[in-house]
C-alpha cells in the first residue's frame, strides 16, 4: 500500500533520477558532444521530448549530472580536510577513501576528465564553492607535514595536481592498464590494490627526505 500509486511527486523525481543515471553513463562514456538526447532517452526507456519535462535542455541536463555526481566527492573532500585536527595520516586516508568512492561511481572521473578537456567551464562553479576552500586547507595541511622540508611551497600545488591526475587517471586509463596488466583495475580487487599503491606513493612523497650525506650509498 505504501508503494502502490506512489505520490506523483515521487514518481516524477524518480524519472528525473533515471534520466540523470542514463545521462551520467552517456556523458561519461562519450562526452558532451558525443552524447545525443536519443542516447539518454533510450537509456531511460522514454521518448526524447519527455526529457524536457525534467530538464530545460541538454546543457542543463549535463550540468545537473555534473553537480549530482560531484557533490559526494566535494563533500568528502571538505569533510576530510576539516578533520585535519587528527594527527596526520589524513592524506593517505583521503586517497583511499577517494579511490573507494570513485570505484563505486567510475563514471565520475571520466566525467571530470571530459569536462577538464572541454575547459572545465561547468566545473568552475562547483569548485568555486567547494574545492577552493578545501584546497586552501589542504595546502595548509600539507605544509604541516614533514614534507615541508622537502618540497618548496610553490611545489605543493603541483603535488596536489599530481595526485589528482594519478587518481583520476587511474579510471580513465583503465582499458590501457587492463591491456597492460591483464587484470581489471576497476574491479574491487584492482581498486583495493591500487589505492594502497597510490597511498604508499603519497606517504613516501611527504616523508622528510634523507639529508643527503648521511648514511647514503
What is the CB neighbour count within 10 angstroms for residue 51? 23
Residue 168 and residue 113 in contact, taking contact as beta carbons nearer than 8 Å: yes
Rounded to a whole number of angstroms, the minimum distance from the CB of residue 37 to DNA is 4
Nearer to a copy of itself, 120 or 188 (CB): 120
The option from DNA, a copy of itself, none interacting with 117 (CB < 5 to 8 A, set by class) reads a copy of itself
Cα 165 to Cα 159: distance, rounded to the nearest angstrom: 10
Q: Considering the rule CB under 8 A, would residue 12 count as an interface residue with a copy of itself?
A: no
Chosen from DNA, a copy of itself, none, partner binding at 205 (C-beta under 5 to 8 Å by type): a copy of itself
> Of 30, 195, 9, 203, nearest to 104 (Cα)?
195
Q: Which residue has the cell 622540508?
A: 149
Q: Residues 16-45 vs a copy of itself: string with x where CB under 8 A?
A: --------------xxxxx-----------
Our finding on whether 83 is near a copy of itself (CB under 8 A) is no
Sign, Cα dihedral of 20, 130, 126, 104:
negative
**Binds DNA by CB under 7 A, chosen from 17, 38, 132, 144:** 38
CB of 84 vs a copy of itself, minimal distance in Å = 19
Position 212 contacts DNA (CB under 7 A): no
Alpha helices in the chain (DSSP H): 8-34, 37-44, 48-51, 58-82, 90-104, 107-117, 123-129, 131-143, 156-172, 174-181, 188-205
**Torsion 94-95-98-99 (CA) sign:** negative
Which residues contact DNA (rule: CB under 7 A)?
5, 8-9, 11-13, 15-16, 35-38, 46-50, 52-54, 57-59
Which residues contact a copy of itself (rule: CB under 8 A)?
30-34, 110, 113-114, 116-120, 123, 135, 146, 154-155, 157-158, 160-162, 164-166, 168-170, 172-173, 175-177, 180-181, 194, 197-198, 201, 204-205, 207-210, 217
Amino acid at each position: 500500500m505504501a508503494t502502490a500509486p506512489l505520490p506523483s511527486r515521487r514518481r516524477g523525481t524518480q524519472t528525473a533520477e533515471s534520466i540523470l543515471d542514463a545521462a551520467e553513463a552517456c556523458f561519461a562514456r562519450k562526452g558532451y558532444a558525443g552524447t545525443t538526447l536519443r542516447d539518454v532517452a533510450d537509456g531511460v526507456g522514454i521518448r526524447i521530448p519527455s526529457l524536457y519535462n525534467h530538464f530545460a535542455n541538454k546543457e542543463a541536463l549535463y550540468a545537473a549530472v555534473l553537480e549530482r555526481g560531484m557533490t559526494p566527492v566535494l563533500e568528502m573532500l571538505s569533510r576530510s580536510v576539516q578533520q585535519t585536527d587528527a594527527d596526520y595520516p589524513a592524506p593517505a586516508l583521503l586517497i583511499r577513501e577517494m579511490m573507494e568512492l570513485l570505484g563505486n561511481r567510475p563514471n565520475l572521473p571520466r566525467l571530470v576528465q571530459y569536462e577538464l578537456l572541454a575547459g572545465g567551464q561547468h566545473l568552475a562553479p562547483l569548485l568555486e564553492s567547494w574545492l577552493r576552500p578545501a584546497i586552501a586547507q589542504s595546502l595548509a595541511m600539507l605544509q604541516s607535514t614533514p614534507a615541508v622540508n622537502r618540497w618548496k611551497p610553490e611545489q605543493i600545488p603541483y603535488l596536489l595536481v599530481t595526485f589528482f591526475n594519478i587518481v583520476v587517471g587511474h579510471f580513465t586509463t583503465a582499458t590501457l592498464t587492463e591491456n597492460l596488466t591483464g587484470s581489471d583495475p576497476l574491479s574491487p580487487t584492482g581498486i583495493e590494490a591500487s589505492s594502497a599503491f597510490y597511498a604508499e606513493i603519497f606517504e613516501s612523497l611527504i616523508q622528510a627526505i634523507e639529508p643527503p650525506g648521511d648514511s647514503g650509498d
